[in-house]
Amino acid sequence: MSQETPAIRVSALHKRFKQTQALDGVSLEIEQGAFFGLLGPNGAGNTTLISILAGLTRASSGTASIMGHDVVRDYRQARRALGVVPQELVYDPFFNVRETLRIQSGFFGLKHNDDWIDEIMHHLDLTPHTEKNTQSLSGGMKRRLLVAQALVHKPPVIVLDEPTAGVDVDLRRSLWAFISRLNREGHTILLTTHYLEEAEALCGRIAMLKAGRVVALDETKNLLKLTNEHCAQFRLDSENVPSAWQNRMVKGGDGNWRFNFSEYADLETLLADLRGAAVRVLEMRLQEPDLEDVFTDIMKRT
Amino acid sequence: MSGLSALFYKELLRFWKVVVQTVVAPVVTALLYLLIFSHVLEAHVEVYPGVSYSSFLVPGLVMMSMLQNAFSNSSSSLIQSKMMGSIVFVLLPPLSYLEFFLAYLGASILRGLVVGAGVLAVTLWFAPLSMPHLGWLLVYALLACGIMGALGILAGVWADKFDQLAAFQNFLILPLTFLSGVFYSIHSLPAFWQSVSHANPVFYLIDGFRYAFVGQSDTDPWLGLLVSGACFVAISAITLLLLRSGYKLRH
């Protein structure tokens, strides 16, 4: 497959469920090797989009392809190229961990897949649980098994649908370490999450969906530039803030003040005016805009 | 391993892991039916001349057990994985709807045959049996398990909850099997009910299967083959059409 073929291409995708327009003309391309974030509030269409990519839902119109294979016409190749970690914590209670992974390999036409199965289990800390029935696994272990199941056929494209919802810190860290490693090795990752700090830290590019439409699509660093609302928090030794600044500053208790600004020059002027009014700054903290601010802002504006 | 054989293997492993429930229990149930009904009726009823009631009853019980268990296998596996959400593991891989159908059907047929063989094995001790038409026995056993396996897929895909599946089982499958001549010959019925019975496809399965054992039947086994074969083709075709459309599986 040439490097030019996008890992995921979605074009003018519409999906209507009885009363709701879940997707309303979504188009986007994700290049191979990307770590891509798909963000949006509940009901924005993220899960519908992923379901269409996975062949679990059929689009009303438009096309979608994985590694150049149309998900409907060419579904066998498309599904072979895709590993999906579903959002719900699902498992088949009849089998143990190894059986589950062997059977899942078989579904993709793979036999003698034990070397790779052992490797995945090792990286996901599942090895001590190999012979355990899936029903007896803890929530975290079930989540790891879901990730393992999505990887049995070494898919070049991996979709993670809110993989860290309700997951403890340890698992979150080891999961991201493993997924980042897979990404470094060339796997394309598509992630949906409500934890925006995760998306900010991991994703090189991000699309934001609202009511079934793409409302933002850019590199993460460019998105972060969209909001230039910085915030400075001060603790001052007196309340004699010059009157010109009083309506621009928010007063908290114990001499704490908040100041939102977009240009650093404003901050400089404020500090000079405070010094002029003989108000001393006892403490100061600066807060840079994060993805959450950008997200909230975009969701409000669109 | 192809995807089809993996799914078939998964389905076999599934019922084999709960073999007490899926094989032993129906065999014991059939044995109880035999003991009770033959105790009560052996001395009073002779359906066909020269054939004891137990020998008449056993083929019916074997067939009934095969029918119910072939249906149970595909339907309960599907409804469980739909309710649990684990159906997604079968929907994500590159399996065609035909492979999906054949794997579930194959496992249902095998479960039906295993239960049928089990019932036959234990009832042999209680009733003198011969099998003069082994070919018919195999044909009818396969057709019966095939029809019910396919119907089980249909019901499992259609049902959204266990309750609906139980309704399907109790209000359709059970009456069709009980009212098809497992325990009696339809010739003992009033004319009206005889003709109603002829509209029940399960009647032909039991009648033809019994013919393989006792060499006597209410209708010609070739007619039964025609009706059952058509029934299998029709149910399979409907099921395949639904699976192809993604009905209730792929939105």
Name every chain A residue with its beta carbon within 8 A of the beta carbon of B93.
79, 104, 107-108, 153
The reply to whether A18 touches chain B by the CB within 8 Å rule is: no
Q: Do B13 and A94 lie within an 8 Å CB cutoff?
A: yes
The nearest alpha carbon in chain B to A57 belongs to B251
The reply to whether A54 touches chain B by the CB within 8 Å rule is: yes
Name every chain B residue with its beta carbon within 8 A of the beta carbon of A79.
92-94
Q: Do B84 and A93 lie within an 8 Å CB cutoff?
A: yes
Q: Do A109 and B94 lie within an 8 Å CB cutoff?
A: yes
Backbone angles phi, psi at A189, to 5 degrees: -120, 130
- How many angstroms separate the CA atoms of B206 and B176, rounded? 11
Query: Residue A96: its pLDDT value, please?
Result: 94
Query: Residue B151: its pLDDT value, please?
Result: 96
ipTM tops the 0.85 cut: yes
In the predicted model, residues of chain B with pLDDT beneath 70 are 1, 43
Q: Do A107 and B93 lie within an 8 Å CB cutoff?
A: yes
Query: Residue B16: its pLDDT value, please?
Result: 93
Residue with the larger pLDDT of the pair A162 and B241 = B241
Q: Do B93 and A104 lie within an 8 Å CB cutoff?
A: yes
The reply to whether B14 touches chain A by the CB within 8 Å rule is: yes
Best residue of B88, B102, B104, B245 to probe chain A, by most A CBs closer than 10 Å: B88
Least confident range of A159-163, A270-274, B183-187, B210-214: B183-187
The hierarchical CATH code for the domain A227-289+296-301 is 3.30.70
Nearest to A76 among B7, B94, B250 (CB): B94
Mean pLDDT across A97-101: 95
Name every chain B residue with its beta carbon within 8 A of the beta carbon of A80.
94
Dump the DSSP string for A281-296: EEEEEEE---HHHHHH
C-alpha distance from residue A98 to each of A48, B80, B84 (Å): 30, 21, 20
- Ordered by start, the domain boundaries in chain A are 8-225, 227-289+296-301
The reply to whether B4 touches chain A by the CB within 8 Å rule is: no
Q: What average pLDDT does the structure give for chain A? A: 90
- CATH class for domain A8-225? alpha beta
Dump the DSSP string for A144-190: HHHHHHHHTT--SEEEEESTTTT--HHHHHHHHHHHHHHHHTT-EEE
**Owner of token pair 């005889």:** B194
B171: DSSP letter: I
Residues A287-298 have pLDDT tens digits of 887 888 888 888
Name every chain B residue with its beta carbon within 8 A of the beta carbon of A111.
1
The nearest alpha carbon in chain A to B96 belongs to A76
- Ordered by start, the domain boundaries in chain B are 3-43+54-245
Residue A2 has pLDDT above 70, yes or no: no
Mean pLDDT across A174-181: 90
- How many angstroms separate the CA atoms of B50 and B222, rounded? 23
Residue with the larger pLDDT of the pair A3 and A217 = A217
- Please give, rounded to a whole number of angstroms, the shortest distance from the CA of A76 to a CA of chain B: 4
Query: Residue B214: its pLDDT value, please?
Result: 86
Q: Please list, in sequence order, all residues whose beta carbon lies within 8 angstroms of the beta carbon of residue A231, skipping any fewer than 6 positions away.
A: A258, A259, A260, A261, A286, A287
The reply to whether B44 touches chain A by the CB within 8 Å rule is: no
The 10 Å Cβ neighbour count of residue B216 is 15
Query: Residue B194: its pLDDT value, please?
Result: 83
- How many angstroms separate the CA atoms of A160 and B153, rounded? 30
Residue with the larger pLDDT of the pair B46 and A72 = A72
Name every chain A residue with its beta carbon within 8 A of the beta carbon of B76.
none
A vs B: CB pairs below 8 A: 85
Query: Residue A163: its pLDDT value, please?
Result: 86
The reply to whether B20 touches chain A by the CB within 8 Å rule is: no
- How many angstroms separate the CA atoms of A180 and A302, rounded? 32
Residues A228-263 have pLDDT tens digits of 778 889 999 888 888 888 888 888 888 889 888 888
Mean pLDDT across A186-191: 95
Best residue of A89, A94, A146 to probe chain B, by most B CBs closer than 10 Å: A94
Share of residues in chain A with pLDDT > 90 (%)? 59
Mean pLDDT across A269-278: 91
Name every chain B residue with its beta carbon within 8 A of the beta carbon of A88.
85
The reply to whether A77 touches chain B by the CB within 8 Å rule is: yes
Q: Is B106 exposed, middle or buried (0-12, 13-18, 19+ CB in 10 A)?
A: buried
Query: Residue A171: its pLDDT value, please?
Result: 83
Residues A9-68 have pLDDT tens digits of 999 999 999 888 899 999 999 999 999 999 998 888 999 999 999 999 999 999 999 999
- At B80, the amino acid letter reads Q
